């Protein structure tokens, strides 16, 4: 059997894969088993933020692997504690719960909101507002949080307690806060899966104000936007707001599964012994990878991310067959004249791996993609988009 046949016979049919069998890579280049070279413009959906098999990341991970690969959360380990410290230092927040994915990081945030409702607001029942067109994960509860009906249809009944508000309509959110007992508002600064759509700044600032006035937790889902992706360490830092809870995952581990729910002052004391847990959470190898990734994301590095972003905007904005470019940093959505799926398929054939998001072509390259390789990929993307 070929690899494709083997996979199709034994792996659950939940993914529509490209006709590409990947073998190995280095940085932003990936090779298939038949020796074809691809430029990686998706980094495993915003995960491998320093590319494939980055030297420094590998060193950190391998050295931890040889020391202690897992301990459970019954004991103290250094990578976990140091990563939590670094996340707090870089955000001004107070405490971190480690999970293994974005959905799980959001599950923790949702538990915090429920705990806040009962412990602080004295409500027996409370709601969390999320936005229409959002994406918060695939567990039943994070699906319920996700503001897209087509994800809900097949899996009723979902966890109750979520209301979906229109994005960029602060009056609408205020009205919901008057009508319902609301414990938290959870949103993405840039809706990634929803089509790389950035919320407008007045709206985000309005949510911040509304939450502070009404004792509601401001919770930002930075699973995709976090960890340098938008040119700041976390995307909320572009908006000058102070969230009570930040969730992140994807790029955090540089390619290893880790999620984090970061808590500010209002949230840090909500969970106590036994309230939440995870066998793998805070795994030392994943934390060592994450630590090595975050330590390298200083201002100088983030400025380079912004410069690469400008390079892409410049090359794509006035290009034939491209209607618009949305997003920030290295999280970009391209509205193309051709169907996005066709563009991505043809780019793959020509050796450039891109993503889609709704009707757009989505780019999430490694944050350190060399300009030369980036330009090479853009040549292909520009020429494929122009065929319309
Ligand atoms: C990908 C994503 C998630 C889910 O993350 P998983 O690691 O797949 O569980 C949640 N929120 C946002 C904004 C995402 O982009």
CB of 281 sitting under 6 A from ligand 1 = no
CB of 101 sitting under 6 A from ligand 1 = yes
Point out which residues pair with 328 in neighbouring strands: 331
pLDDT value at residue 62: 98
Find the 143 Cα to ligand 1 centroid distance in Å: 11
CB of 247 sitting under 6 A from ligand 1 = no
pLDDT value at residue 44: 98
Contact 103, 136 (CB under 8 A): yes
Find the 103 Cα to ligand 1 centroid distance in Å: 6
Q: Whose CA is nearest to atom 11 of ligand 1?
A: 136
Find the 122 Cα to ligand 1 centroid distance in Å: 31
- Mean pLDDT per 10-residue segment, the chain (388 residues): 97 96 98 98 98 98 98 98 98 98 98 97 95 98 97 94 98 98 98 98 98 98 98 98 98 98 98 97 98 98 98 96 98 98 98 98 98 98 96
pLDDT value at residue 239: 97
Measured from the Cβ of residue 307, the count of other Cβ atoms closer than 10 Å reads: 11
Probe ligand 1: pick from 133, 249, 260, 280, max atoms within 8 Å of CB?
A: 249
Contact 93, 260 (CB under 8 A): no
**Residues contacting 97, CB < 8 A, separation 6+:** 105, 108, 260, 261, 263, 271, 276, 281
Find the 136 Cα to ligand 1 centroid distance in Å: 6
CB of 136 sitting under 6 A from ligand 1 = yes
Helix/strand/coil for 211: helix
Q: Whose CA is nearest to atom 10 of ligand 1?
A: 136
pLDDT value at residue 85: 98
pLDDT value at residue 57: 98
pLDDT value at residue 118: 96
Find the 149 Cα to ligand 1 centroid distance in Å: 17
Element (H, E) at 25: strand 22-26
Measured from the Cβ of residue 74, the count of other Cβ atoms closer than 10 Å reads: 5
Q: Whose CA is nearest to atom 5 of ligand 1?
A: 102
CB of 249 sitting under 6 A from ligand 1 = yes
Q: Whose CA is nearest to atom 6 of ligand 1?
A: 102
First to last CA, the chain: 39
CB of 107 sitting under 6 A from ligand 1 = no
Give the number of the atom of ligand 1 that is nearest the alpha carbon of residue 193: 15
CB of 226 sitting under 6 A from ligand 1 = no
Buried b (16+ CB within 10 A) or exposed e, 184-194: bbbbbbbbbbb
Predicted TM-score of the model (pTM):
0.98
pLDDT value at residue 195: 98
- CA separation for the pair 49, 55 (Å, rounded): 13
Probe ligand 1: pick from 105, 144, 197, 224, max atoms within 8 Å of CB?
A: 224
């Amino acid at each position: 059997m070929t690899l494709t046949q083997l996979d199709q016979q034994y792996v659950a049919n939940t993914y529509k894969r490209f006709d590409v069998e990947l073998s190995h890579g280095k940085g932003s280049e990936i090779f298939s088993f038949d020796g074809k070279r691809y430029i990686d413009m998706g980094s495993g959906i915003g995960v491998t933020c320093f590319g494939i098999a980055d030297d420094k990341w590998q060193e950190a991970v391998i050295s931890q692997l040889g020391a202690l690969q897992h301990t459970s959360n019954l004991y103290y380990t250094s990578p976990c504690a140091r990563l939590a410290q670094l996340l707090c230092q870089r955000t001004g927040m107070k405490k971190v719960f480690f999970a293994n994915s974005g959905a799980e990081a959001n599950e923790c945030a949702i538990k915090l909101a429920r705990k806040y409702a009962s412990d602080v607001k004295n409500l027996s029942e409370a709601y969390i507002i999320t936005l229409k067109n959002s994406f918060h994960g695939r567990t039943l509860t994070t699906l319920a949080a996700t503001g897209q009906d087509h994800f809900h249809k097949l899996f009723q009944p979902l966890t109750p307690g979520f209301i979906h508000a229109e994005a960029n309509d602060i009056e609408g959110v205020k009205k919901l806060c008057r009508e319902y007992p609301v414990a938290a508002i959870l949103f993405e600064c840039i809706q990634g899966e929803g089509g790389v759509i950035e919320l407008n700044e007045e709206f985000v600032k309005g949510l911040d104000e509304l939450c502070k006035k009404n004792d509601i937790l401001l919770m930002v889902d930075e699973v995709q936007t976090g960890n340098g992706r938008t040119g700041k360490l976390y995307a909320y830092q572009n908006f000058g707001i102070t969230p009570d809870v930040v969730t992140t995952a994807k790029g955090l581990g540089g390619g290893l599964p880790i999620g984090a729910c970061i808590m500010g002052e209002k949230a840090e004391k909500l969970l106590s012994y036994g309230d939440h847990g995870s066998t793998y959470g805070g795994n030392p190898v994943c934390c060592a990878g994450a630590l090595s990734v975050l330590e390298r994301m200083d201002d100088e590095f983030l400025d380079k991310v912004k410069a690469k972003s400008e390079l892409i905007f410049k090359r794509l904005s006035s290009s034939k067959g491209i209607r618009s470019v949305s997003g920030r940093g290295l999280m970009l959505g391209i509205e193309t004249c051709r169907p996005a799926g066709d563009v991505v398929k043809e780019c793959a054939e020509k050796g450039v791996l891109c993503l889609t998001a709704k009707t757009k072509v989505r780019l999430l390259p490694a944050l350190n993609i060399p300009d030369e390789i980036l330009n090479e990929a853009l040549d292909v993307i520009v020429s494929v988009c122009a065929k319309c």
